[in-house]
Structures are given as C-alpha cells and as structure tokens.
Amino acid sequence: MNDEKQTILLVDEDGVECEFEISEVFGVDELNSEYAVVIPVDSEEEEGILLKMIEEADGSMTLATIEDEEEYDIAAEVYATLFMNEDN
C-alpha cells in the first residue's frame, strides 16, 4: 500500500496557484457524489477544505466548491463520521 499523499495544483478566485495535498477522498451514497478534503502544502494550517469531485465528459476529474449549503452539511457530516472518530 502506498502511504504517499497525492498533491495537486489549484487556482483560487484571484488566479493564484496553490499546491494542496489530497488528505481524504470519500463518497456520499445519499448524494451520489464523491468529495475530497485538501490541505494547503505550504501552510501551518491543518484544517482541510471540502470540495466536490466532478467527472468531466472526457473522464477527467475536477474539484469544485460546494455551493449548496445542505449538500455541504451532509458531506461534512459523512467526513466527520468516517475520518474524525478517534475512538477507532
């Protein structure tokens, strides 16, 4: 098993490129969607950013901001259930 984290380059709304580490990828059956949590590589901050994974027509994956508050809340709850439970 490969424990090395994958990094990606994302462009923010100001056109600035930032490198992120993909911390977790998970699906939410209720929403029939997949999500990723990314963490800035060059930051002291350990809090991740929750993004939606969208498959493009050519099969490539795009990460997008989750605009719908209800969708975000459901995805965040699933993330917390899967990855934030320190008792396991």
- The pairs formed by 16-20 with CB atoms below 8 angstroms and a separation of 24 or more are 18/42, 20/49
What is the Cα–Cα distance from 62 to 38, expressed in whole angstroms? Answer: 13
pLDDT in tens, the chain (88 residues): 456 778 999 887 889 898 999 999 999 999 999 999 999 998 777 789 999 999 999 999 999 999 999 999 999 999 999 987 655 4
Q: Answer yes or no: are the C-beta atoms of 27 and 37 closer than 8 Å.
A: no
pTM here? 0.83
